[in-house]
Structure 1
Amino acid sequence: MAQHYLWIFLLCLQTCLEAVESNTDIITVNGTLGEPVTFPLCIQELQQVTSIAWMNSKTSVALVVVPGSGAAPQVTVTHENYYERINVSHQNYNLEISNLRMEDAGIYKADINIKTSKTKSTITRSYSLQVYRRLGKPKITQSLMTSVNSTCNVTLTCSVEKEEKNVIYSWSPLGEEGSVLQIFQTPNNQELTYTCTAWNPVSNNSDSISAQQLCADIAMGLHTHHAGLLSGLAVLSLFILILPSVFLFLLCKRRQDAPHQGDASKHNLFHSAVL
């Protein structure tokens, strides 16, 4: 019977919740995947709170009953998705959800019932829970490398392994934002180190790359290219020099062999006539 009245009570609370005026302030709460998150109630008259009904946009979450006289609040979790994950502070009745999941994100509301010696009232708190992954170390990749007049032109791209919403990238020491950075590196600033920092509302992480490393890669590539070009030219020059010499040698040899071939023909003709 008590459970039956409890569900009727929660249904009434939900109906009242849907009738709350649309201009209710919504508090944004940012949580980290797999970690706990706290919904602050910010109530001054704690000694006058009798109960708190928590729900999200789809279902009820928990019912908190305050016995009074400094006793610990009694918490009833009303949905299986939150079993063993709900905790209520004894000091301020803030709600905590542990082991946060991505599907926990959404709109939450708390109906706080307050009783004074003269009146009874309900205060509504609304929250927008956003769940984010803690960012890993970003990766810097380079592309479109060119070198003109001792200037190293490189495009750097910064990315995280699992791209998340609301990720912001910034570069130091240039102070630019965005995941892509174009650099025109000159010999005068070879000592710089470029650092990309990825941010989201719950974490940040960074990675760095030195200007010397970038331009050294380009210089090595150019050196390899030039070395290959010089080797090719050397082989071509050698081929051009040797080919005429071989041709002249073969021509001279052919001319030297021609008289001997004529004498042999005459000798064979005379021998045939005698016979």
Structure 2
Amino acid sequence: MGAFLWSLLLLLREAKGFSGDEEDPEEVIAVLQESIILSLEIPSSEEVKDIIWSSRKNLAVVAPGEEGQPANITVMDPRYRGRVGIPESSYSLRISNLTWEDSDFYQAKVNLKTSQLSITKSYNLHVYRRLSRPHITVNFKISEEGACNISLRCSVERADMDVTYSWLSSQDSTDTPHEGSVVSTSWRPGDEALSYTCRVSNPVSYSTSRLIPVGSFCAEPGYSEKSSVFCLLAKGLLLLLLLVILAVGLCVFRAQKNYEMARVRKLKRNRIKLRKKGKPGPSPV
């Protein structure tokens, strides 16, 4: 079937006076620092003369090997040396250790021994980075009416291009598409406690943030100030506890040392007494 389609394509292009420019390129998505294969399938019935791979300029030339041997590749563009190869029993092109500069237009020009025409296949390669876990910044302000206006900003390190954001709310349990990384909401005392999760995605990966309970940031006026005072008080108590432990330890150490010194003095006195008892008296004349 593949050979029939290939032959039919050759006939159609020959009838049109094909130049190889009207074919829509294949969109290919890849991951930064990983590998990708630009797939090229040629029926085994066709005799390939050579294949010229190009990007901004000629990248490599692939030629069939001797009978029973794999194809040979000659890399012409210095940017790809050591990074391109051909999968076994294939004319496809594998690019390893992808960089941002590899995002480009690629083309494979297939020259056949049995035809004066060349068949071309084009590719648009897009390289993306895998996303890290997003971080959420919370800003809130309590109005005079008691309403708490909350703003959540979602950010991800080195987001690059084509990153989309969506928010999952505990209220509706559905993903809400959102243009941009900021979502705003409001809360009043007595309202249901709300929690939000940010989801970021690009064509090669996605990641979600931790759950953020927004109600706790403004449960009552002065919440943040009270939290700060509580933290300072807790730190002071902890420091006081450490000082007490240190003083008790020092007292125990001194008592132990005094006990040891008294014990040593007592042993010395006992030895002196024993020596006096064992000393012989003066001999009679």
**TM-score > 0.5 by shorter chain:** yes
- Distance in 1, Cα, partners of 2:133 & 2:80: 31
- Distance in 2, Cα, partners of 1:216 & 1:23: 59
Task: Map residues 1-275 of structure 1 onto 2, 5 A cutoff.
Answer: 20=19, 22-41=21-40, 43-48=41-46, 49-57=48-56, 59-67=57-65, 69-116=67-114, 119-146=115-142, 152-172=148-168, 173-178=174-179, 179-185=181-187, 187-190=190-193, 192-211=194-213, 214-219=214-219, 222-223=222-223
- Whichever of the two has the greater Rg, that structure is 1
Question: Can you list the C-alpha shifts for 1:217-270, whole angstroms capped at 9, x where unaligned?
Answer: 21265246699xxxxxxxxxxxxxxxxxxxxxxxxxxxxxxxxxxxxxxxxxxx
Assess if the C-alpha contact under 8 Å between 1:50 and 1:68 holds in 2.
Answer: no
Instruction: Kindly tell me the number of residue pairs found equivalent between the two proteins.
Output: 202
**The structure with more helix, counted as a fraction of residues:** 1
- Distance in 1, Cα, partners of 2:224 & 2:81: 64
- Distance in 2, Cα, partners of 1:62 & 1:56: 10
**The structure with more strand, counted as a fraction of residues:** 1
Query: TM-score, structure 2 length as denominator?
Result: 0.63
User: What SS does structure 2 have at the residue aligned with 1:163?
Assistant: coil
Aligned alpha-carbon RMSD (Å): 2.7
- Distance in 2, Cα, partners of 1:114 & 1:175: 53
Assess if the C-alpha contact under 8 Å between 1:47 and 1:68 holds in 2.
Answer: no
User: What SS does structure 2 have at the residue aligned with 1:208?
Assistant: coil
TM-superposed deviation, 1:67: 2.8
Consecutive unaligned residues of structure 1, counting only runs of 5 or more, are: 1-18, 228-275
TM-superposed deviation, 1:152: 4.0
Consecutive unaligned residues of structure 2, counting only runs of 5 or more, are: 1-17, 169-173, 228-285
TM-superposed deviation, 1:46: 3.7
Query: TM-score, structure 1 length as denominator?
Result: 0.65
- Distance in 2, Cα, partners of 1:223 & 1:165: 38
Assess if the C-alpha contact under 8 Å between 1:158 and 1:180 holds in 2.
Answer: yes
User: What SS does structure 2 have at the residue aligned with 1:195?
Assistant: strand
- Distance in 2, Cα, partners of 1:71 & 1:121: 26
Assess if the C-alpha contact under 8 Å between 2:133 and 2:209 holds in 1.
Answer: yes
